[in-house]
């Protein structure tokens, strides 16, 4: 029984530790607007330029994305397709799992439904909270994902930042902000907007039918409301002589 209790504690302890780290991170609201087609187009361009070289999106086809975002096949081939010339192909990468495991420790995850798994606000924080950490193999760490094995692929846009610490009531040092060490090509507000576009696209990719589903749901509710009124009036008419 004692061994069973110890095994259970060892199994659940990482969960509580992870929850503790997550609770310290204040998540900003991601600027998600699936009706903003221009934002989704910019996010798609960010995705194929900075993410698709390592991460796949094997549940999304180029032509489906183009149809939803108002991008023609010619524009897709010219600006968003670098690994294939077939618009019906899925968004996969040429990197082999063996190579990615050797370079990064684990194959980079597929990002088709990452927004549904992690949440838009978490992704928005993740892409904005990389900081310099010489103790890590990639030279960076992340406030949202401590000890992450991914390099900061957007560092040229954001720049390089270092953490600013403060001592909390428990006497522990915690990160309260960041200080820019090497500016990027974008201003902070401009970079936040670019990351917002990327997150917006990831949310769309996680459920391309979301707007259609919501519109259909409203129609169904309207139908049920009208049907309820008609059914109630029919019931009153049917039972009026009995009551």
User: What are the extents of the domains in the chain?
Assistant: 2-208, 211-243
Of all residues in the chain, what percent carry a pLDDT higher than 70?
88
Of 92-96, 203-207, 212-216, the least confident: 92-96
Mean pLDDT of 30-56: 95
Bridge partners, residue 165, by sequence: 175
Residue 1 DSSP symbol? -
- Measured CA to CA in angstroms, residue 174 lies from 71, 136, 220 at distances of 45, 18, 49
pLDDT band of 54, cuts 50, 70, 90: confident
Mean pLDDT of 159-186: 91
Q: Which one is predicted more confidently, 59 or 84?
A: 59
Residue 145 DSSP symbol? S
**Is it the case that residue 88 has pLDDT exceeding 80?**
yes
Burial class (CB in 10 A: 0-12, 13-18, 19+), 92: middle
pLDDT number for residue 3: 45
Q: How many CB atoms lie within 10 A of CB 124?
A: 24
Dihedral Cα 81, 85, 86, 92, nearest 10 deg? -50
Contact 95/54 with Cβ under 8 angstroms?
yes
CATH class of 2-208: mainly alpha
Q: What angle do CA 48, 209, 37 make, to 5 degrees?
A: 50
Of 104-108, 183-187, 209-213, 217-221, the least confident: 104-108
Which among 120, 92, 114 is positioned nearest to 195, based on CA atoms? 120
- Residue where the block lists tokens 């696209």: 201
Strand residue runs (E) in 62-129: 90-91
**Is it the case that residue 11 has pLDDT exceeding 50?**
no
pLDDT number for residue 108: 86
**Is it the case that residue 13 has pLDDT exceeding 50?**
no
pLDDT band of 9, cuts 50, 70, 90: very low
State how beta strands 90-91 and 57-61 pair: antiparallel
């Amino acid at each position: 029984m004692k061994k069973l209790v110890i095994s259970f504690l060892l199994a659940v302890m990482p969960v509580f530790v992870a929850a503790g780290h997550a609770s310290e991170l204040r998540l900003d609201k991601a600027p998600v607007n699936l009706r903003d087609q221009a934002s989704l187009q910019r996010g798609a361009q960010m995705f194929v330029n900075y993410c698709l070289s390592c991460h796949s999106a094997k549940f999304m086809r180029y032509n489906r994305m183009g149809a939803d975002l108002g991008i023609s096949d010619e524009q897709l081939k010219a600006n968003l397709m670098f690994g294939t010339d077939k618009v019906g192909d899925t968004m996969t990468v040429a990197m082999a799992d063996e190579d990615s495991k050797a370079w990064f420790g684990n194959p980079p995850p597929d990002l088709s439904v990452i927004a549904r798994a992690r949440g838009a606000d978490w992704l928005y924080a993740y892409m904005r909270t990389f900081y310099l950490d010489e103790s890590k193999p990639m030279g960076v760490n992340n406030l949202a994902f401590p000890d992450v094995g991914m390099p900061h692929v957007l560092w040229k846009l954001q720049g390089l930042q270092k953490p600013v610490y403060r001592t909390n009531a428990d006497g522990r040092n915690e990160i309260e902000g960041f200080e820019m060490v090497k500016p990027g090509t974008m201003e902070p507000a401009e970079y936040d907007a670019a990351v917002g576009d990327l997150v917006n696209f990831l949310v769309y990719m996680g459920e391309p039918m979301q707007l259609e589903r919501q519109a259909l749901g409203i129609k169904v509710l309207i139908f049920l409301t009208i049907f309820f009124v008609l059914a109630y009036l029919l019931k009153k008419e049917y039972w009026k002589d009995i009551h």
